[in-house]
Amino acid sequence: MIKSDRNKIEHLIAFSTGMMSGAEGRELIEKHKEILKGITPHDMLYLEEYQMQMGISVAEIKRDINKILNVLYEYLKEYEWERPAEGTFLYYLMLENRAFEFRLNSMKKVLKAFKGKEADELPQLKALLLPHLESFALFEPHYVKKENILFPFLERYWKEYKPLRVMWSLHDDLRRMIKELIGLARSEESDWMTLNRAIGNYYFGAFGMIQKEEIIVYPIAAETIPKEDWAGMHLQSFEYPFPFIESPEPPGSGESSSLLRGVVSGELTEQAMLIFDHLPLDITYVDEFDKVRYFNRAKDRFFPRSPAVIGRDVRNCHPPESLHVVEQIVNSFRSGERDEAEFWITMRGKFIHIRYFAVRTEEGEYKGVLEVSQDVTAIKALEGQKRLLDWS
């Protein structure tokens, strides 16, 4: 990781603290302008890391990060870095951003056509907005690829990787906002003021996310992740859709198939892997050192996993809002206080049962956690009985 000048970071901390406390942006820029002129993406990463070390919460950082970046954008965009070559993992992430921007701007044209008469023609406006909003939700794989492929690699090479938790939390905010927006567009009861405010918040967040990716995360990733890792990351990306762009041709069949198995070579036999992959369950194993060691490749996984997560600390596999619960479960298993935890959620119309089991030796030694998730929608609906001889 490229080191950052301590004096520069102190100025940035003073600048960001002033912005967060409501000070006038122009005055702050004038006071720190000599330092701001040379700001780099690496400086922004160090800044956020120091903020977290100072005890500033993820929620507080999220509240003001877009405002700070809007002021610093003109300086950060001047940073020179080697753009990704065509056909690479990072290239397609950026191409997805261009396609997403196009769709976001297309909806702006709809809003512009109704300007001044939104409240009077709200039902017609909602009908036109809804397909756009529903398409925005399809950008989800872009965020999933970052969380499950890019972030694990960045954690290997960035000492200061905690700011990625802020970005993951912002992903979740965007997921929540688009879900709420679609609900407002579908509802006959929602008014224009509420809908307009929600649209503004979503646009601010969506465009802000693209900005954060391309002026901070991607430049640092390009400069810190070794070249030999990018081919593997690109290969793993074919586990997910390429939202809003034409899917590229996958790499040749000569690539190592073990890369997409999600296991360390030699840990499981081929038969064992086939058995686990054919179970109607999502399975993930985290060892006693809190490292992800295995996940199966069930036909219809609800929770995405990529080979990049193998060896990843389980704490980095969850957004900050749920991290404390994960730590509580693991600690209760490790201490012997508990052996099982279960939850159930509704996701994409399915009822998902999620269970965590403590893995122990016959002597009771703690060996990690097994996560097992199952779609029990059809099971819940079963009645009566169906015997083996009833099969046809």
Span 215-236, mean pLDDT? 94
Q: Which helix (H) or strand (E) holds 287?
A: strand 282-287
Instruction: Write the pLDDT tens digit of every residue in 153-205.
Output: 999 998 888 899 999 999 999 999 999 999 999 999 999 999 999 999 999 99
Q: Say yes or no to pLDDT of 89 above 90.
A: yes
Q: Say yes or no to pLDDT of 374 above 90.
A: yes
Give the confidence band of 267 by pLDDT, cuts at 50, 70, 90: low
Percent of the chain with pLDDT over 90: 60
Q: Say yes or no to pLDDT of 354 above 60.
A: yes
Angle at the Cα of 165 (from 61 to 87), degrees rounded to 5?
Answer: 115
pLDDT at residue number 348: 83
Q: Measure the CA–CA gap between 88 and 214, rounded to whole angstroms.
A: 15
Mean predicted lDDT score pLDDT of the chain: 89
Q: Are 290 and 364 in contact (CB under 8 A)?
A: no
Q: CA nearest 371: which of 313, 296, 285?
A: 285
Instruction: Pick the range with the lowest mean pLDDT from 190-194, 258-262, 278-282.
Output: 258-262
Span 121-137, mean pLDDT? 97
Give the confidence band of 98 by pLDDT, cuts at 50, 70, 90: very high
Instruction: Say which CATH class 89-239 falls into.
Output: mainly alpha
Q: Say yes or no to pLDDT of 220 above 80.
A: yes
Q: Measure the CA–CA gap between 236 and 259, rounded to whole angstroms.
A: 8
Helix axis angle for 6-20 and 58-76, nearest 10°, is 120
Helix H segments across the chain?
6-20, 25-36, 41-53, 58-76, 89-113, 122-136, 140-145, 151-157, 163-186, 192-212, 218-224, 227-236, 270-278, 320-335, 377-380
Residue 21 has phi, psi (to 5 degrees) of -90, 0
Burial of 307 (0-12, 13-18, 19+ CB in 10 A): buried
Please say whether the structural domain 257-380 has been given the CATH code 3.30.450.20. yes
pLDDT at residue number 266: 40
Angle at the Cα of 348 (from 347 to 352), degrees rounded to 5?
Answer: 35
Residue 347 has phi, psi (to 5 degrees) of -140, 125
Burial of 299 (0-12, 13-18, 19+ CB in 10 A): exposed
- pTM reported for the whole predicted model: 0.84
pLDDT at residue number 4: 60
* 130-136 LR contacts (CB < 8 Å, sep 24+): 130/182, 130/185, 130/186, 132/103, 132/106, 132/107, 133/107, 133/178, 133/181, 133/182, 133/185, 134/182, 135/103, 136/100, 136/103, 136/104, 136/178, 136/181, 136/202, 136/206
Instruction: Write the pLDDT tens digit of every residue in 58-72.
Output: 888 888 888 888 888
pLDDT at residue number 102: 98
Q: What are the boundaries of each domain within the chain? A: 6-76, 89-239, 257-380
Q: Measure the CA–CA gap between 244 and 223, rounded to whole angstroms.
A: 27
Q: Are 366 and 349 in contact (CB under 8 A)?
A: no
Percent of the chain with pLDDT over 70: 94
Span 122-146, mean pLDDT? 97
Cα dihedral 146, 148, 151, 153 in deg (nearest 10): -120
Same fold, 89-239 and 257-380: no
Span 326-345, mean pLDDT? 95
Instruction: Pick the range with the lowest mean pLDDT from 100-104, 130-134, 174-178, 275-279.
Output: 275-279
pLDDT at residue number 252: 67
Span 366-386, mean pLDDT? 93
Instruction: Write the pLDDT tens digit of every residue in 303-323.
Output: 888 888 899 999 998 888 888
Q: Can you give the length of the chain in residues? A: 392
Q: Measure the CA–CA gap between 121 and 192, rounded to whole angstroms.
A: 10
Cβ-proximal residues to 52 (8 Å cutoff; 6+ apart), any chain: 58, 61, 162, 163
